[in-house]
Amino acid sequence: MAMSGFEGFEKRLELHFFGDDPVMVDNNLGLRLLGFESLEQVLNAVQCTVVSAVANQYFDAYVLSESSLFVYPTKIIIKTCGTTQLLKSIRPLIHYACNLGLTLCSCRYTRGSFIFPKAQPFPHTSFKEEVIYLEETLPTNLCYRKASVMPSKMTTHSWHVFTASDQSHVIPKDIYTLEVCMTELDRVLARKFFQPPGGTKSGDIAGKEMTKITGIGDINPRAMICDFAFDPCGYSMNGVHNDRYSTIHVTPEDGFSYASFECVGSIYDDDIEHLVGSLRKAVQVFRPGTVSVSTTCSSHEVWTRVAHALEPLGLKCRSCAADEFPAAGSIVFQTFTARRK
């Protein structure tokens, strides 16, 4: 990686399982029964480690050396940056889930366009290679499959999506996932994610300070935050609120600065307008030159609000693409740039 820089754009994998033992699932256990040693084996295949963790009655949230892991009773989400080999987690996860009586029923893989694509290892050397690997790795019961590259007017920003599901997987009509990618961060704000030279603070303590001074802690004040600062720079956090998560990751180096914000929610939430506020606050933390937003939801309730959140910040919507996926529903990909561009 010395010839380029650190790859901020994450790869994201979401796997859903089902089981015949309702007691295990209803007790909010399921995949949460996976031992830490098993999770370590999965992450070893990906080439990352756990640096911090928090849990509540609904799910477990891990901050990784490269992004995040969320474990629910019947769902796992792994999001990794850098030169990690995320798709290599699928086989061990299917194996460990099978030992718990759980069977894979849905897969969704998404990512943006890498800043340093030539630095990526197999199977992430191209989207074509990723799709081939997924096709060969996933069990045959996931027979409804689709791969697509969603374009934008900027050649440097496109959204890569692969989904697969079996006949039984039902798409929740109300749940949405928002994946936000930001580049060209404001240089002054990005400096807040550097640790002072010779600093002796731990990643946990420095992370808490960054959460406070940057305003990240105000994005969702109700959330329990698990944060971590990297040396000499970089930052990750997971926010946990009931059965919902949010996560932020920052690569602040000038020339390839990047930050991501992701959250989940329901269109039936009493405060869906809270989404607009959270998205606006998250983007304000970084004042990026370019923003892309991928909204996964069967309803149009969410993506139509994205522009309302971002345009008051001086960001103009440059492109909007939509597609339907068998294991995800609708995905809408929007790009925004600062009006000064």
Which residues carry out catalysis? 67, 81, 236, 249
66, 74 Cβ separation under 8 angstroms: no
| Residue 162 counted as an annotated binding residue | no
Exposed/middle/buried for residue 313 (C-beta within 10 Å: 0-12, 13-18, 19+): middle
C-alpha 109/C-alpha 89 separation (Å) is 12
- The structure tokens listed for 270 are 């009493």
- The structure tokens listed for 237 are 């956090």
Where are the strands (E) in 192-311, listed by range?
Answer: 224-229, 235-241, 244-251, 258-266, 290-296
Q: What are phi and psi of 336, to 5 degrees?
A: -135, 145
> What separation in angstroms does the CA of 196 have from each of 3, 233, 284?
25, 9, 23
Strand 159-165, strand 102-111: pairing: antiparallel
291, 315 Cβ separation under 8 angstroms: yes
| Residue 6 counted as an annotated binding residue | yes
| Residue 230 counted as an annotated binding residue | yes
Q: DSSP readout, 110-164?
A: EE---SSGGGPPTT-S-HHHHHHHHHHHS-TT--EEEEEEE--SSTT--EEEEEE
> What separation in angstroms does the CA of 204 have from each of 63, 68, 229?
11, 15, 7
Binding residues: 6, 66, 230, 253
Binding residues for substrate: 6, 66, 230, 253
